[in-house]
A and B are shown apart, each in its own frame.
Chain A
Amino acid sequence: MADKMTKTNNASLNVPLAIQNENGGIEKNSRKEGRMAEPSQDAPNKALIKKVAIIGLPNTGKSQLFNNLTGDYNIVANYPRTTIEVKRTLAKIEGQLYEIIDTPSLHSLYVHSEEEILVRDLIFEEHPDVIVQCIDALHYKQSLLLTADLLELETPVVIVITAIDEAARKGIAIDSKKLEEHLGVPVIESIAIRGTGDKQLKNAIAKARKSKANIKYGFKIESAIIDVMAVLPLEMVFKFKTAVLLLLTDPFFEKFLEKKHGKVMLDGVRKEIGKTRRQFQDRIRQEIHGKRHQWVDQISEGTVKKEESARGFSYYFAQATRHPIWGIPILFFFIAIVYLTVVDAAKYIDRPINQYFVNPILMFITLLKLPVFWNDFLIGNHGVLTLGLLNAICTVLPILTVFFFIYGFFEDCGYIANFSVLTKRIFEKLGVTGKAITSIVLAFGCKTMATLTTKGLTSYKEKFITNFLILFAIPCSVQLGINIAILGKFGMSASLIAFGTLAILEIVAGLVLNVIIKDKGENYFIQVLPEMRLPSLKAVCVKTYYRIVWFLQEAIPIFVISAVALFVADKIGLLNGLKHLLNPLMVGWMGLPSSMVDVFILAFARREAAAGLIYKMVDAGALTYIQSIVAVVITTIFYPCFASVIALSKEMGVKTAVVMSILFIVVSFSFAGILNWLLFFAIHGFKII
C-alpha cells in the first residue's frame, strides 16, 4: 500500500518535470556558452579602466580596505551603515588602472532595503570586473551566504577576511588555504587597519579569474532555473543569478528588469516563474535557502576551528553598555568625558591662539591705518577676517578638532549601536522603532547623513517622524562641540538647562507627532551589534584629520562668503533695517541683543558659523547667562543647515521640506521667548517687573 502511494505521488509530480528536463538539457549547453562568451566580447571596450567593487556585510571593513587600496579616504567607523553612498577612486595596481568602488553594506543579492538596492543595481548595471568581498571573521557564516551569491554571478571574486586578529582572540581560526580550495577563488587574510595583507590583495585583484558557483540545488530547482534563463534576453549578463533571484520573487528586481528590458520580457518571465512556482507549491524559496545554508555549513565546517576562549573585557563591557541599569551610568560617564574634554580643551586652546595669533593679526591691520571701509571689510564686525577666516580657523576649528577626535573614539569603539539598544524603549514612545533609531542616533554626527539613512524606512509615519526628530532639536556633531564649549563657560548648569530643554522639546515633538500622524505600518527591530573594541589611535587621528580637511574645504568658502554678504548688507543699511524690524522679537521677546540677527543669518549658511559667532560674543562678554542658553537653544532648532534641507527634500519631497523648515523657525522663535522669560523669572523673580 505504501509503495503504491509513493509511486503515484511521485508520478504526479514528475511527469511535467521530465519533459522540462529534456528541453532544459539542450538549453543548458547553448546558454552556458552564450553566457561565457559575453564578457570577453565587451572586454576590449573597458580594458582601459577595470572596475573593482568592494562588497560586504555591514561593518566588515569595506571602507578601511578602500582607503588602503586607494590612498584616498572614506570615513571608517565601528558601526553598521557608516557608508551610505557609493564612493569611487582610480588606483593603479600592477600597472593596470582600476576604479575602486566602496559600497554601502549588502547582506545578499536578494535585497532587504533601499540602500542595498543601490549596491545590487551597481553590480547588475556596471558588471564590475572584480568583486572584493570583505568577510568579518566573527560573522563568518553570515558572510559566506553572501559569498554564495557573489560566486553565482560567475564574475571574478576575491575574498578578504578582516578582523582575523580579533577572531583569533576569541578562539576562532579560519583556514584560509582550505577556504580558497573550497571556493576556488583567492582568499586573503587582512588586518585592514594596519594594512596587513594589502600587497597580497593587490596581487589577487590583478590576477583575479572567473570563479564558479558550486551550490547543488538539486535536479528540480536547477531545471527550473534553466527554464527561467531560457526566457531572459540573450544579451543579459548574470543570467543564472537573475533567474535565481526571480524564482525567489524579488519585487525590486522585477522592477529593475522591467526598466531595463521592457514589460514584454518581464511578462514572459513572470509566466515562466508562475508555472514553476505552482509546481513547487510555493516551496521553492525555502528549498533554495535551505540549499544555500547547507553549502555554507559544509564550507564552514571544513574551514573553521573554534576553541573555547575566555570572554574578554570588551565582551562584558559591551553587555554592560546596553544593560538597562548599568548602561545609564556608562552613558553619563561617556557624556561627562566629552563635556569635560571639550570644555577644558577649548579653554586651554583659546587663550594662546588669541594671544599669539589673532591679536597680532588684528594689531597689525590696525597699525596699517587703512581707510575705514577697508578696515571694516577686513576686521570690522562683519569683516572677512574676523567673521570669516579667523572665525573658522581660530574659533571653530580648535574646538572641532578636539570634538572630532573624541567623537572618532566613540564611533570606533562600537558604542553607538549599543546606545540604540539602550534607548529603544524611549524612542518607541516617540513613534520611532527599528532601524529609524539608528538614523536618529546618527544625527548627532551629521544630520545630512542621518537624513539620507532614512531611505530604507518604509512607513511614511516613521519616516516623517524620524526626519523631523533628526532635523529638529538634535545638535549635529559640529554644533554640539561648539555648543558645549559655549555653555561650558557658564558652568555645568547652563549645559544642563540648554541640553535638557532640547531633549524635552525633542521628546514632546515625538510624542505629539506620534499621536497626530495616523499610519499603521509593519515595523520590526533587528540590529546586529558590532564588537566593542579599543579604537586604534592612528585610525582616529587619520579620521579626525580628514574631517578637519573636509570641514575647511566645505566651510571656509561659506564662512567667507557669508561674512562678505553681511558686510554688504550692513554697508547698504539692510542689516540695520532688519535689526530694527526684528527688534521687538529679538530684544523684547527673546531677550537677545539685536546684534544676534547676524547669528541667525549665518545659521542659514552653516550652523557652526553661527555657533562660532556666539562663542566669540560670549568671549567678549556680550552675552549673559540667560542669553547664551537661549541663543544655543534657538540656533540648534532654528533652521537645519542647507545641505540637510536638500537631503530632506530628496527623501520626503520639496513640499515637506519647506513645511518642516518653516515649522522649525516658528517653533524656535516662539520657544526661545518662552525659555527666556521662564529663566528670567526663575532667576530674578517677579519683582523687577
Chain B
Amino acid sequence: MTQEHDLDEYLEQLWYMKEDEQTSVTALKRVLADKFDGVLLERLSVEGLAKISPDARNISLTSSGEAQARQLIRAHRLAERLLHDVLGSDVEKGACEFEHIVSLELVNSICTLLGHPKECPHGLPIPEGECCKRSEKTALSCVLPLNQLKLGASARIAYVKCQNDQQIHIMEGLCVRPGVVIKLHQNYPTYVIECEGAHIALDDAVAANISVWKDQQPSSQEAK
C-alpha cells in the first residue's frame, strides 16, 4: 500500500518534470531527496509506466504512465481548488493526500461542482477530464461565469482566469479576486461590476473568465 503511494508520488514528480520539459534522473533524485529509491524506479519501468534511457540518465513517462499521472495531478489540483475556494484553507496540506484516495467518478463530480476550473489556485493547469469534454454546464455545478449572473445580483468570486500575467496583476490590483463579493450592474454595452467600492467596466471576454458562486446570498454588509 505504502509502495503504491510512493509510486504515485513518482508519477506526479515525473509529470511536473514533463511540464518543465526535464528528463534527467538526477533532477528527480534531487527533488525526491531521501525518498529516492532505485527499486521503485525499476518498478516504474517494469510496469511500463516510465521509460528509462539505456544510460540510465534520462527518464520520461510512457503514455500509460502519463495517463495515470494525469489523473493524479488532476485530482490533486482540483482538491487544491476545492480547499482554496470553498474552505479557504491552506492548500498544500490537505491536497497532497487527496489524489491517492478518490475515485475517478468523485474527481469528475468535484470538477463539475467547481464548474470545470482550468487552473489550480497556484495558476498551474488542471488536466482536462472526460466531464469537461462532455459538457460545460451540469446541473451539479455551483459556479457560474459572470456573464450568466443575473443583472443586479451580488455574488462572491470563486476564481478569476486571466489571459496573461499583466491581466492577473491588473485584476489583483483592482481587488477582483476569489472571495470578494461583486455586484453586476450592467451587461451591455460592457459589463460593469462594483467591487470593493469601485465601479469597473469589463468586456465580455474578461467577464466570462470570472467565475462566481451561484445561489450564495452574501449579507448586505458584504454586498456593499
Given A12-B33, A319-B185; A524-B97 close (CB under 8 Å) = no
A403 at the interface (CB under 8 A from B): no
Inter-subunit contact A172/B200 (CB<8 Å): no
- Count how many chain A residues have C-beta atoms less than 8 Å from C-beta atoms of the other chain: 59
B210 to chain A, nearest CB (A): 11
Inter-subunit contact A140/B206 (CB<8 Å): no
Given A526-B202, A529-B192; A282-B123 close (CB under 8 Å) = yes
A301 at the interface (CB under 8 A from B): no
Q: Report how far A366 CA is from B1 CA in the complex, Å.
A: 112
A120 at the interface (CB under 8 A from B): no
A514 at the interface (CB under 8 A from B): no
- Count how many chain B residues have C-beta atoms less than 8 Å from C-beta atoms of the other chain: 53
Residues of A contacting B221 with CB < 8 Å?
A: 306, 308
Residues of B contacting A529 with CB < 8 Å?
A: 192, 198-201
Inter-subunit contact B20/A278 (CB<8 Å): yes
Residues of chain B in range 169-204 having any CB-CB distance to chain A below 8 Å = 169-175, 177, 185-186, 188-190, 192, 196-203
B135 at the interface (CB under 8 A from A): no
Residues of chain B in range 202-224 having any CB-CB distance to chain A below 8 Å = 202-203, 205-206, 220-221, 224
Residue of B165, B172, B190 touching A249 (CB-CB under 8 A): B165
Inter-subunit contact B96/A9 (CB<8 Å): yes
A28 at the interface (CB under 8 A from B): no
Inter-subunit contact B5/A138 (CB<8 Å): no
A527 to chain B, nearest CB (A): 4
Residues of chain A in range 112-161 having any CB-CB distance to chain B below 8 Å = 112, 138-142, 145-146
Residue of A5, A281, A420 touching B124 (CB-CB under 8 A): A281
Inter-subunit contact B190/A421 (CB<8 Å): yes
Inter-subunit contact A11/B20 (CB<8 Å): no
Q: Report how far A147 CA is from B170 CA in the complex, Å.
A: 16
Residue of A6, A282, A283 touching B96 (CB-CB under 8 A): A6
A557 at the interface (CB under 8 A from B): no
Given A11-B33, A141-B175; A112-B189 close (CB under 8 Å) = no
Q: Report how far A138 CA is from B175 CA in the complex, Å.
A: 13
A275 to chain B, nearest CB (A): 11
Residue of A287, A417, A423 touching B189 (CB-CB under 8 A): A423
Q: Report how far A142 CA is from B198 CA in the complex, Å.
A: 9
Question: How many residue pairs at the A-B interface have CB separations less than 8 Å?
Answer: 148
Residues of chain A in range 577-633 having any CB-CB distance to chain B below 8 Å = none
Q: Report how far A293 CA is from B88 CA in the complex, Å.
A: 14
Inter-subunit contact A286/B123 (CB<8 Å): yes
A323 at the interface (CB under 8 A from B): yes
Inter-subunit contact A289/B172 (CB<8 Å): yes
A263 at the interface (CB under 8 A from B): no
Residues of B contacting A306 with CB < 8 Å?
A: 221, 224
Residues of B contacting A170 with CB < 8 Å?
A: 197
Residues of chain A in range 277-326 having any CB-CB distance to chain B below 8 Å = 278, 281-283, 285-287, 289, 293, 306, 308, 318-319, 322-324
Residue of B165, B174, B203 touching A525 (CB-CB under 8 A): B203
A2 to chain B, nearest CB (A): 6
Residues of B contacting A8 with CB < 8 Å?
A: 9, 35
Residues of chain B in range 101-118 having any CB-CB distance to chain A below 8 Å = none
B31 at the interface (CB under 8 A from A): yes
Q: Report how far A153 CA is from B123 CA in the complex, Å.
A: 27
16 contacts between A and B (CB under 8 A): A5-B96, A12-B35, A16-B30, A108-B173, A140-B196, A282-B123, A283-B123, A289-B177, A306-B221, A324-B189, A424-B190, A424-B201, A425-B189, A528-B174, A529-B192, A529-B200
- A6-B93, A319-B185, A424-B189 given; name 7 further pairs at CB < 8 Å: A1-B5, A12-B31, A278-B20, A423-B189, A524-B167, A526-B200, A527-B200
Interface residues of B (CB under 8 A from A): 1-2, 5, 9, 16, 20, 30-35, 93, 96-97, 100, 121-124, 163-175, 177, 185-186, 188-190, 192, 196-203, 205-206, 220-221, 224
Interface residues of A (CB under 8 A from B): 1-2, 4-6, 8-9, 11-12, 15-16, 107-108, 110, 112, 138-142, 145-146, 170-172, 249, 278, 281-283, 285-287, 289, 293, 306, 308, 318-319, 322-324, 417, 420-425, 433-434, 522, 524-529, 531
